[in-house]
A and B are shown apart, each in its own frame.
Chain A
Amino acid sequence: MTVQEGRAEVGSPRKRSEDARLITGQTRWTDNLAPAGTLHVAFLRSPFAHARITRVDTSEAARSPGVVAVFSGADFADEQGSLPCAWVVTEDMKHPDHPPMAVREVRYVGEPVACVVARDKYAAADALEEIDVDYEPLPPVVDMNEAVADGADLVHEELGTNKSYTWVFENGDIDAALRDAPVVIEREYVQQRLIPSAMEPRSVLCVPEADDFTLYSATQIPHILRLMLATVTGIAEHRIRVVAPDVGGGFGSKLQVYGEEVLALLLARRLGRPVKWTESRSEGNMTVHHGRDQIQRLTLAAERDGRIRGFKVDLLADMGAYLMLVTPGIPLLGAFMFNGIYKMDAYSFTCTGVFTTKTPTDAYRGAGRPEATYAVERIMDELAAELDLDPIEVRRRNWIAHEEFPYDTIAGLTYDSGNYEAATDKALELFQYDKLRAEQAERRERNDPVQLGIGVSTFTEMCGLAPSRVLGSLSYGAGGWEHASVRVLPSGKVEVVTGSSAHGQGHETAWAQITADRLGVPFEDVRVLHGDTAISPRGMDTYGSRSLTVGGVALYAACEKVVDKARKVAAHLLEAAEQDLEFSDGRFSVRGVQQEGKTIQEVVLAAWAAHDLPEGMEPSLDSDATFDPDNFSFPHGTHLCATEVDTETGMVKIRKYVAVDDVGKVVNPLIVEGQVHGGLAQGIAQALFEEAVYDEEGNLTTTTMADYLVPSAADLPEFTTDRTETAATSNPLGVKGVGEAGTIASTPAVVNAVVDALRPFGVKDVPMPCSPERVWRAIRDERKPETAEPGAGGGLGSAGGAQ
């Protein structure tokens, strides 16, 4: 079943209707909201990666001009609770307390220690200088390998270990697969730590009204946040309303319950005044949860012809100092993806979550799946090189053929649909693969100082994070359904209420397109409401490429219910049997008698007037629906990247990038294109530019955009994007989700291209990000500079890796 009926809004490349407002500044960012009497909060943050707090003196700060109150963690110790972790991945998972404001000990640079509430933000910032804190430094724990070694310094003394959990998945006989394998490839890759860098910094405003609280936050998850705030603070859920007004991006970083949000609520309660806090960029770089940060130890066993026998994955995943909302589960989202699109006989996955004295990690665009895809796609290129096969060919020999779907993978998932051959063939053609290979050979031949490299990456991902049953089996704390309701107003206009919470995705446009098609009303007649628990009481919010595949489908189902109700009324008005009515282009007509009919607008007005309704019919067409799919969706694609690598300087330039994605049916191709472009930029950024670097004392040295290199348009190539379309079978729209796709395949495609360029130099890997210096050192077969400075220079990068 697909959507096509009447005019096709679905599939039309409409410009996003929210953009005119967003780009002309008519926005409601949380920081723009300023109820009368709002007080401003500033946080004093730990300068130490690890220290005991021995004294906090706030008296001087409290006397500063404009200051209303100053609090330390101790002042809230009895009511601030512990920030939630909703994903207890193993029964014996170590799960330390996480006070929103540190009370006795700080465990990462940037952890809140005290806060000032003042009449304006300037006074608050000034008063921070007057708070005096004594710390007793404790040893920082910055290197994961050292953290899990015997006798390591501990992040949480009371836990007795830095290991939070070890989670294992095995299928097939991995020992047998490895034993006597003709080809065994072992690699260690480091997924460097990344900072999500949403355009809008975090901001929260809490307005108290007697016993009720309205909390505005730049969040992706108003519904989950409301429940969690109630749980953490003990304030009853029905007394809390959470609003996510315009939210400027998240990339997972706003899929979180932050201490600042909890404290805003508690401060508003204690002071009886609205309180607001907005972070600065450098503050955010230190304290927004980070992403990635894994050390991956991989062993791939294959036959001489390139067919994979088995794949063994051993991960160390950096949790940071605490477990936040879904921190421990993020690497496990990759557990089912290390096999990629390939068939194999055995698979073994072990992940150890490790505490370090760094900012906690959590979901970041792709969340576990980019890491997994990187590992398998990098090692597939290594296999190709080992066997002297074309990397495309080695993939062909292993991937699931289109006629084999649905396919049960070694990791226990059922891929419902896909056509890897089609996407790859299209990509090869757009890329002019053979021509570039010829140029590569020619440059190698003449020892051109600028070598050409070609990188291949296929991918699939489990997305549309939903099936509640599956999430339950993974011990995730919530379900994955989504809710939508459709309100048809007496004038025939339509309000759509969605539990998805858009923060840049374009739901207002896409949801209106779906509704317009289903109800046969003009696109302009549909308004989409979201992001407010008082308006949209039920929802599971937006993350994991789930909005369309779950929330969009819920909307589709709600629209169907509206039509069903309308059909009853129309049949009554037309004095016809329901089954004799046709609904097309927003009009009910009696089959065979086109001139006899009622538009949906006429029907809704009649329903509203209620003068003449069928027996037992309520005077409304309003409907709602919840959708909870049986399976994930599995978008896939093939990305090809050509890089020019200057072997004298190590500089990498992307010459050409082709992405062919299959995201199933498409509601709005323009939005899909935008999502792919942004995803590619972010994935390429991981390959070449971005890295959160800590020094050996645990100081984050990339607190500003001058050091944390987020690429701009000037640093990226022109993308060639295209699609194939294999409908998902797990939902009636046939959609798969696109939010994370671009981020997933691009990182290995770029690094594969860099390494491919350098194969003649014997280079087998360049650690990410492939900075010019790292490339240069790889060519010189040096992994680490003699003077081990942190960062792109090659020293102690994030994950303590890259050495």
Chain B
Amino acid sequence: MIPAAFDYARPRSVDEAVRALADAGEDAKVLAGGQSLMPLLRLRLAIPDALIDLGRIAALREIRDDGDAVVIGSMATHHQVIRDPLVRAHLPLIARTTETVADPAVRHRGTFGGSLAHADPAGDLPAVALALDAVLLVRSPRGEREIPAAEFFVDWMTSALEPDELLVGVRVPKLGPGWGVHYEKFHRTAQAWAIVGVACAVRRDGDSVAEARVALTNMGPAPVRAGAVEDAVRGRPISDDSFRSAGGHAADGTEPPSDLHGSSEYRSHLATVLTARALAAAAAA
């Protein structure tokens, strides 16, 4: 398949990129690794007028310490994220989850910010961003703004980014000591999208759960935070029973899709089983 023609810009700085995006108008797309966009272009499901390629903006690849948070540049590749010492030390859930993304070739090209901006509910990283209360840092000609993950993933493949807004980085609060994390991904082949995924962080307090954060992949048009699970497990003893009973709430209020790889009903069931497992694994981590 061959994409339709488009204009192409490869800015060298964020300012240039913001300008280029604004100039390109509404039917422009940002190329941030291209591991999701390129297939859409080739299938001509996306026919943008212009592509703004962020590949040459070194500043966007930076991962830096920001006190009680880590800021991951939007163009940091998955491969880079997995190996980054800051991420490994403070955001192991991101490192762990990113390891499950697609295959090595994709992880060398695909980017953290690109995955989030694509807002695919079957993507693994949106749920993680949600679970970790990440904040998405956005630039446009109108200035900067910060969008909490909870408000960023609006709908199926739709983020809160305006057409002239560029995702420049993601600030993710560090998880302090006492947290265990796990990403439970359920898929039929190694490279397939998750049928359901569960991103989970659990803070232990002795033999019980002090706090848990749970977010679900592919359980709706956007990633969802499983608030009912978090409430149900808070303060409960660390045991399979606790996790199973809390996991039972995983599908509450969700509207999972039905598709070739799983029916809505099956996804709802999977969410409960996988959430219990994710909680147990995170608590044991």
Contact = CB atoms under 8 A, between A and B. Distances in A.
Contacts of A777: 266
Contact of B263 (A122, A689, A714, A773): A773
Most A CB within 10 A of own CB, among B193, B270, B274 = B270
Nearest to A709: B189
B239 interface: no
B4 A126 contact: yes
Contacts of A26: none
Interface string B191-205: 111010000000000
B270 A793 contact: no
Contacts of B39: 704, 706
Interface stretch (B54-62, B152-160, B163-171, B254-262): B254-262
B4 A792 contact: no
Given A787-B258, A787-B265, A791-B260, A712 B188 contact: no
Nearest to B42: A280
Contacts of A666: none
Interface string A759-802: 00000000000011100110000000111011111100000000
A709 B192 contact: yes
B258 A793 contact: yes
A785 B266 contact: yes
A789 B258 contact: yes
Contacts of A787: 258, 263-265
A790 B263 CA distance: 9
Interface residues of A, number: 39
Contact of A706 (B192, B262, B269): B192
A376 interface: no
B188 A789 contact: no
Contact of B5 (A126, A771, A791): A126
Nearest to B274: A649
Contacts, number: 89
Nearest to B190: A714
Nearest to B192: A709
B195 A772 contact: yes
Contact of B260 (A651, A702, A710, A785): A702
B266 A776 contact: yes
A280 B1 contact: yes
Contacts of A688: 188
Contacts of A145: none
A122 B4 CA distance: 8
A344 interface: no
Interface in A252-285: 280, 282-283
B186 A785 contact: no
A146 interface: no
Contacts of B193: 706
B190 A712 contact: yes
Contacts of B5: 122, 126
A730 interface: no
A121 B188 contact: no
B273 interface: yes
Nearest to B267: A773
B43 interface: yes
Contacts of B264: 787
A772 B266 CA distance: 9
Chain A binding surface SS class: loop
A707 B189 CA distance: 10
Contacts of B265: 785-787
Interface string A696-712: 00000110101101111
Interface string B237-276: 0000000000000000000001111111110011001100
A105 to B, nearest CB: 26
A715 interface: yes
Interface string B14-25: 000000000000
A772 B5 CA distance: 41
A318 B185 CA distance: 36
Interface in B189-235: 189-193, 195
A573 interface: no
B260 A789 contact: yes
A709 B188 contact: yes
Contact of B269 (A702, A711, A715, A776): A776
A710 B274 CA distance: 25
A48 B273 CA distance: 40
Contacts of A771: 188, 261
Given A773-B266, A776-B266, A787-B264, A793 B186 contact: no
A772 B188 contact: yes
Interface string A101-135: 00000000000000000000110011001000000
Contact of A773 (B190, B192, B262): B262
A351 interface: no
Given A649-B186, A649-B270, A689-B189, A793 B2 contact: no
Most B CB within 10 A of own CB, among A121, A649, A693, A787 = A649
A791 B263 CA distance: 10
Contacts of A790: 260
B119 to A, nearest CB: 17
Contacts of A776: 266, 269
17 contacts: A121-B2, A122-B5, A282-B43, A649-B273, A649-B274, A771-B261, A772-B262, A785-B263, A785-B265, A786-B265, A787-B258, A791-B259, A791-B261, A792-B188, A792-B261, A793-B262, A794-B263
Given A651-B186, A777-B266, A789-B263, 4 more contacts: A126-B4, A649-B273, A773-B262, A793-B263
Which 10 pairs show the lowest CB-CB distances between chains A and B? A714-B190, A791-B260, A125-B2, A793-B263, A785-B263, A280-B1, A773-B266, A789-B258, A648-B273, A715-B189
